Amino acid sequence: MKVRCSREPLLAALQSASAVVPARSPKPVLTNVKLEATKESAVLSATDLEVGIRTGIEGVETLAPGAALLPSARLAAIVRESAAGTVFELSADGTATVVKAPRSEFRLPGEDPLEFPSVASFPNEPCFELATPLVRELVKRTVFATDNESSRFALGGVLLELTTKSVIAVGTDGRRLAKMEGPAAGHHGSPSDAQPIVPARAMQLVERCLTAADAPVHVAVRPAEILVQTGPTTISARLVEGRFPRWRDVFPDRPEAVRVGLLAGPLLAAVRQAAIVTSEQSKGVDFSFEPGRLVLSGRSAESGESRIELPIDHADATVRIKMDPRFVSEFLRVLDGAANVTVELTDPQSACVCRTDDGYGYVIMPLAAD
């Protein structure tokens, strides 16, 4: 194998692949990336056996087709430390890989590319099509609510409910739940409805690899695997096993609830201020929705007390609830500061439900009042 390519597209592909390459592995071959070059294209792939990635490198000149295993960390360092616009020549003969630039040359140990596990390509079959801006919001607004350390294994992933008309993404750790929905369509036909639980790490990799806003994202679901194609990149991931909570039960119809409209930015600032004096032992913030104002108060024996007032449009009876300020802040941080948030409350023992105008819902379980 022998190819010639410029620094920028090679570095971009290596950076995408490096998110999958394990730092340590019982299988040392997985610390490499695989470069496959044909006359038409060059593809870089990596896997840790749970998540895999294949990404095309733009502008590669293939001098001799073939495949090679490249040490991911060392090659990335070589390319990263080179000057902008540097053109590299990479050649492999099965025993070593030589990386040449105009004023430098590196000889790296080589391994047999046949020993590298195969990484799935995107299939030519009916799949789902989503808009790139929607996928970015789906990930950003749900992954933070998952729990990779939970003994309930399914909480370490994001549930995707996919049809040819809509997509719903749900993440939860059992104490709060985030749900985002939007439109979807079929591509190459009408795929069957699917409800995969996707590892949070794979969802974050998808967000990292998203391309231009006008380029669609394609999703194919297999019995134990999901594949996502965005631009020249395909990400594959083994699905999370286990039962996902009945999340719709968390969004009950509560006609008697008090509903208050707030702006995300000012509310986030007030929550962060109120949380300054809280501690791990006394981490809750009291939210008191009173006529004309929201009063937030926090306290701890070590740090003292806080009281923050925020003007609100509320004329009904006072409703109080105690919540973890971290859960509230993480929800508000993924929104634009000017976004309208409707807070729905009934009593101090029932969940607080927050909704936005663009299909985002967030539920927080209350803490026990002092």
Q: How far apart are CA 202 and CA 146, in angstroms?
A: 13
Task: Tell me whether domains 2-115 and 252-364 share a fold.
Answer: yes
Maximum Cα–Cα distance across the chain: 77
Q: How far is CA 224 from CA 152, 194, 241, 256, 300, in A?
A: 19, 12, 9, 43, 47
For the chain, what percent of residues have pLDDT higher than 90?
Answer: 88
Q: Where in the chain are the domains?
A: 2-115, 127-247, 252-364
Token look-up 């999703």 returns 219
Three-state SS for 308?
strand
* pLDDT, tens only, 324-359: 999 999 999 999 999 999 999 999 999 999 999 999
pLDDT computed for residue 153 by the predictor: 67
At the top level of CATH, which class does the domain 252-364 belong to? alpha beta
Residue ranges of the chain whose pLDDT lies below 50: none
The whole-number pLDDT of residue 279 equals: 85
Query: Nearest 10 degrees: CA dihedral of 4, 234, 166, 136?
Result: -60
Q: Going by CATH, does the domain composed of 2-115 fall within 3.90.870.40?
A: no
| pTM for this entry | 0.92
Q: Is domain 127-247 in CATH 3.40.50.300, yes or no? A: no
